[in-house]
Structure 1
């Protein structure tokens, strides 16, 4: 919820700062505001009630001489004598190779590369990458597109506000509908959100009035809010709790790459065409491409349960 609320205030506030302090002062102020995240993170502390009670403390364990000699003997890395048996010790190349292989297996296990063989996870990641491809580029070029369509700087600065309002509405309405008994599948909500985003992008490519652009930008925010919320629910229940961190890690890596490519390719298309109309049509097509991924994932999950 914090991202759309910040988006609502970012456009107008940044425009006011630009008119008052210029680019340099605005950048410094925005950077200072962002730096508050570091202070907030440093102030986070564990709840004392969740820590171990006072009676759970480390206790000293007595060790006799025999156990101490045995442990010290096991702790030796290499034997001192040069006998034939030493060739099979831990100093052998074979033993070192085994240790290297074990280390590699532990690394692979830690990053949980087995997730990449999960068909449902791959399909959901592909769907999220299509949305991240368009989302990151849209956030960058939203105001520029409004100015290109004939809006003033002040009018274009309110487009992020409309986007944030629509995103907040989507995030509030979807759980409310679930509470009152309207419970379609998350696949339906994700496809519905992708459809709203795709249609809004197509219309936004040709709408010039300020009210029309404001409304369509709000609908884009609604679509993304429904899309990402439904997708987060599907990903959350895809694996157990102990693998969820790995899921977030892989998801962040692939969506980060998709977002970077989205901004780069959108800039190239703008330079080639001299406008954002074709860019928005590409956005619509890429976003609608997520619908086949969602449908395939739902059919695969249903077939797997049989």
Structure 2
């Protein structure tokens, strides 16, 4: 007879789980690499096609959002719209996706716009990857040690992200300053993105998680498109990406406030 200790033994675990884990890892690497490569290529594409930067950014955002829109087709669970907490999560998740899309596409062009060489600008994106991983590790360890519940930790991540984005205008031509700022922006981004699904599971349970995630991805897809457009449009109008990054920070701050106010709709889960 199998005992509880046998169930936890590695020999009894599904061997395919490692293949699934490795596949998901590389899928994430390639997806993020493709998205961030657009940021590196954006100035070149603008010169090559003599196009407005907001148009190129919008095209990239639409391509990234297609998967979000398609994910909704199989999960049309309309009764979920009767729950007020669902609207809180829609707003908060959409602000996170809006901010993420604008940040990913325009991070490298923003650094170059400050007078920093393209090679160093890509290094800021690389440091951003370290910050993203750090944010995910912090989230996992904090939840594992039960230091904070998921919604409170989500607020912390969005606060870091919002403040670091708003501070973008304070760093003009300092490469070291952009490295530090890029690290904290991606750290907050990593926490905010990784905790999104955790909060959904804590609020709606595993039974309705797939349905809720389908609708969240639909609205998040629209937010992605707006994120890609807004920052590019601000740059085309002003000549500075920093104004767009400050806008991203303000939008993310608004999402954080909505979550703080709406937490009475969200149970305190461990």
TM-score (norm 2): 0.70
**Candidates 166, 170, 175, aligned match of 1:202:** 166
Q: Aligned ranges for residues 7-156 of structure 1 at < 5 Å?
A: 7=32, 111-156=76-121
Q: Quote the offset at 1:120 in angstroms.
A: 0.9
Of 3-12 and 290-299, the range deviating more from structure 2: 3-12
Change (3 A) 1:117 1:165: same
Q: Quote the offset at 1:151 in angstroms.
A: 0.9
Alignment partner, residue 230 of structure 1? 195
Tell me how far apart the structure 1 counterparts of residues 112 and 184 of structure 2 sit (CA, whole Å). 19
In the TM superposition, what whole-angstrom CA distance separates every residue of 1:130-188 from its partner, at most 9, and x where no partner exists? Answer: 11111101111111001000111111111221111101011112222333x35212222
Q: Quote the offset at 1:258 in angstroms.
A: 0.4
SS of 1:278's partner is: helix
Tell me if structure 2 keeps the 8 A contact 1:4–1:167.
no
Change (3 A) 1:240 1:174: closer
In the TM superposition, what whole-angstrom CA distance separates every residue of 1:93-142 from its partner, at most 9, and x where no partner exists? Answer: xxxxxxxxxxxxxxx99611111221111101100111111110111111
Change (3 A) 1:2 1:186: farther
Q: CA RMSD in A?
A: 3.3
Tell me if structure 1 keeps the 8 A contact 2:40–2:109.
no
Runs of 4+ with >4 A deviation: 1-12
Q: Quote the offset at 1:224 in angstroms.
A: 1.2
Alignment partner, residue 221 of structure 1? 186
Q: Quote the offset at 1:228 in angstroms.
A: 2.1
SS of 2:203's partner is: coil
SS of 2:170's partner is: coil
**Aligned residue pairs, count:** 216
Q: Does 1:265 align with 2:230?
A: yes
Q: Does 1:160 align with 2:125?
A: yes
In the TM superposition, what whole-angstrom CA distance separates every residue of 1:12-60 from its partner, at most 9, and x where no partner exists? Answer: 9x979xxxxxx9xxxxxxxxxxxxxxxxxxxxxxxxxxxxxxxxxxxxx
Change (3 A) 1:112 1:8: closer
Tell me if structure 1 keeps the 8 A contact 2:93–2:220.
yes
Q: Does 1:246 align with 2:246?
A: no
Tell me how far apart the structure 2 counterparts of residues 8 and 162 of structure 1 sit (CA, whole Å). 14
Q: Quote the offset at 1:254 in angstroms.
A: 0.3
Alignment partner, residue 193 of structure 1? 157
Change (3 A) 1:2 1:286: farther
Alignment partner, residue 301 of structure 1? 266
Of 226-235 and 237-246, the range deviating more from structure 2: 237-246
Tell me how far apart the structure 2 counterparts of residues 219 and 200 of structure 1 sit (CA, whole Å). 6
Q: Does 1:169 align with 2:134?
A: yes
**Structure 1 gaps, min length 5:** 17-22, 24-107
Change (3 A) 1:242 1:269: same
**Structure 2 gaps, min length 5:** 1-24, 42-47, 49-72
- Computing the radius of gyration from Cα coordinates, the structure with the larger value is 1
Between 1 and 2, higher relative CO (CA 8 Å, sep ≥ 6) is seen in 2
